[in-house]
A = this chain, B = another copy of it.
Amino acid sequence: MAKGKLTDRQRRILDFIQEFTSDNGYPPSIRQIGASVGISSTSVVNYNLNRLVEEGFLDRDKNVSRGIRLTDKLLKATGNLGEVIRIPMVGRIFASEPVHLPSTDSPMFGADEAIEITRDMLSSTDEVFALEVKGDSMIDAMVSDGDIVVMKRDYHWSNGDMVAVWLRDLEETTLKYIYHEGNTIRLQPANPTMDPIIIEDPKHLEVQGKVMLVVRQLA
């Protein structure tokens, strides 16, 4: 009963339950689960389901057909809570220091804070995370204190993207629209009354991520 040890089969069972429920609006039967993951015996499926209950990934109701319910633990971990994307709140963004990104390999399950956005507001779900902006130093990007910036880790930006860039010389992070112009790079503030920054040497800046969404909650 080692905590947290899931066999490959059990992971596939969880995946199937999630997908099936999402597709059909009701959970699969034991035999349907068995057929999907290649288990011929209903008792084996039953056995593994009970294991998953012990691990806290499932709730079951006895003597109820399809009486399976994914727990919040799993739904939140996979980020598939219905139509809602759960975006981990991984930290805050200061103008005076580079963005601290979570390491790629370590899962973001640990983040207890998160914001939730419906799926249709974002095109891609991978490598998305949120940052809370502290301080008024990004007002030229039309982002103010307390705003939440949803970013995608993506180093392949294209002209017109709003990106978070770390300026090595100035030692600060800013949010700017970015444009490639010949050998130089132009960083254009969102505020149209402010002047752009021209970077001669691309090595002087480091694109930290693409800004997908800015959310400001006031009340």
Q: Which residues of B contact A69 (CB under 8 A)?
A: 24-26
Q: Mark A68-91, 1 if CB is under 8 A from B, else 0.
A: 111000000000011110000000
A136 with B213: CB separation less than 8 A:
no
A210 to B218, CA, bound (A): 9
8 Å CB contact of A67 from B26, B59, B120, B121:
B26
| Band of interface residues on A | 35 or more
Q: Which residues of B contact A24 (CB under 8 A)?
A: 61, 67, 69
- What distance in Å separates the Cβ of A33 from its nearest Cβ neighbour in chain B? 14
A162 to B144, CA, bound (A): 14
User: With an 8 A cutoff between CB atoms, is A214 at the interface?
Assistant: yes
Closest B-chain residue to A214, C-beta based? B216
Closest B-chain residue to A24, C-beta based? B69
- What distance in Å separates the Cβ of A81 from its nearest Cβ neighbour in chain B? 7
Chain B binder among A4-12, A94-102, A189-197: A189-197
B212 with A215: CB separation less than 8 A:
no
Q: Which residues of B contact A84 (CB under 8 A)?
A: 82-84, 118
8 Å CB contact of A152 from B65, B123, B213, B219:
B219
A26 with B66: CB separation less than 8 A:
yes
Interface centre among A117, A143, A212 (most CB of B within 10 A): A117
10 nearest A-B pairs in the assembled complex, by CB-CB distance: A25-B69, A82-B82, A214-B216, A65-B65, A116-B118, A142-B144, A212-B219, A162-B218, A26-B66, A26-B27
10 contacts between A and B (CB under 8 A): A24-B67, A26-B67, A66-B66, A83-B84, A84-B118, A116-B120, A142-B144, A212-B217, A213-B218, A214-B216
